[in-house]
Chain A
């Protein structure tokens, strides 16, 4: 019993020390996608043979990928790492677009439930909303598009 109490207590103390160290040492994450090539490079970590074009989000922290074969993909900054995924018809279950250019994607994916990015240029945003809505048509998902100014 003593061992159990000491074990739990010391784990809690060590956990607090660790988190305090990390909290004090944390700095801003300055990483931004420099160009579409960099976005594609990150996407190839998920799909090594991928070829296509990328549209960067306004803040450079996400990108939408149009693959040469017609598929779509996403690269997004998650914490201090880049993560990539394909945008498949069956998984996109929600799409919200707001007037300020923000696009929120909701997935039927327990490990990646949502993604958010901002595409400022109305023409580019409209193109992407069309592509994403086409996925919705397959998935029968909910779409709320407040502004479509393409």
Chain B
């Protein structure tokens, strides 16, 4: 049976995008563009991507099963047209914004998403460093409402794929700023550098996938400042390049916290679903506390 045309298109796009990684590495190494690759970091990215693809391939039926179930019980029948695709693309981007925001603000979901933020480098190969556990973190359920409304799951999946493809090019230091209108409307390398930075000023900002308007609307937009270059990574960076440790370290940390015998039920819920950095005794710092601490330090 011949491959369907959309598979061929997806393959071509994927190949073109992946070609950009060695190209960026070579140009950055030659000093032609801004950027830095490190062998061990990139090897870790590739290792994590192998695991991510494996788990996506074996567990994606959980996502598709949930979406198909919702579609089976849909409220309306929305036809497959250009307009319905435009609407679903925007709504899917809104879904992505909230999926992404929750992934940063609740530790259980952060444990899955932190993988993508764990590199202290920022280049196109960072795209490869993706979660192993996104299929069973529970947030895939956010994919159900659009199907329940009546949008065809294939259309929703296509919109999601385009969203992720768009996000590929913004993982780079080689592009400074886009034209002002572009920076206002769309996600750009500058906005996404802020998102990957661990400077207190930049923490938990710019969750957008494609349209920057969601961050502007929901108060999470932070502009990149020339006087404060992004420091990539997470607040407590990792001391390893081992892909298994990178992919699972936060789950281990949650399990260790929950093992303590002096916790109440509410403490345990806090360690599980509270914001990253939350602790029952105040011994750690959340984003808000880190920002306050940084602001209290004289320049």
Show the binding face of A for B, using Cβ within 8 Å. Answer: 1-3, 6-7, 10-11, 14-15, 17-19, 21-23, 25-26, 44-49, 76, 78-81, 83-85, 107-115
Chain B residues, Cβ within 8 Å of A113: 239-240, 245
Q: Mark B222-251, 1 if CB is under 8 A from A, else 0.
A: 000000000101011111110001101110
Cβ 8 A contact of A22, one of B3, B39, B246, B248: B39
Question: Does B293 sit at the interface, judged by CB under 8 A?
Answer: yes
Show the binding face of B for A, using Cβ within 8 Å. Answer: 3, 7-8, 11, 14-15, 18-19, 21-22, 25-26, 29, 36-43, 46, 118, 120-121, 125, 198, 200, 231, 233, 235-241, 245-246, 248-250, 252-253, 256, 285, 290, 293-294, 296-297
Q: How far is the CB of A149 from chain B (nearest CB, A)?
A: 28
A111 touches B43 (CB 8 A): no
Most buried by A among B239, B248, B253: B239
Cβ 8 A contact of B121, one of A2, A49, A81: A81
CA distance A45 to B43 in the complex (A): 25
Chain A residues, Cβ within 8 Å of B26: 21, 25
Cβ 8 A contact of A111, one of B7, B22, B38, B240: B240
B21 touches A18 (CB 8 A): yes
Q: How far is the CB of B94 from chain A (nearest CB, A)?
A: 30
CA distance A48 to B180 in the complex (A): 32
Sample of 22 A–B contacts (CB below 8 Å):
A3-B3, A11-B18, A14-B18, A14-B19, A14-B21, A18-B22, A18-B46, A21-B26, A22-B42, A26-B38, A26-B39, A44-B297, A46-B235, A48-B200, A78-B239, A79-B38, A81-B237, A83-B120, A109-B253, A110-B249, A111-B245, A113-B240
CA distance A48 to B253 in the complex (A): 22
B248 touches A110 (CB 8 A): yes
Those 9 A-B pairs whose CB atoms lie nearest each other, nearest first:
A111-B249, A112-B239, A110-B252, A48-B294, A81-B120, A25-B29, A83-B237, A49-B293, A18-B22
B42 touches A18 (CB 8 A): yes
Given contact pairs A14-B22, A23-B39, A110 touches B120 in the complex (Cβ within 8 A): no
B41 touches A79 (CB 8 A): yes
Chain B residues, Cβ within 8 Å of A85: 236-237, 239
The residue in chain B whose Cβ has the minimal distance to the Cβ of A6 is B11
Chain B residues, Cβ within 8 Å of A111: 118, 236, 238-240, 245-246, 249-250, 252-253
CA distance A56 to B202 in the complex (A): 29
B29 touches A3 (CB 8 A): no
The residue in chain B whose Cβ has the minimal distance to the Cβ of A71 is B283
Given contact pairs A83-B237, A83-B239, A21 touches B22 in the complex (Cβ within 8 A): yes
Cβ 8 A contact of B290, one of A3, A6, A48: A48
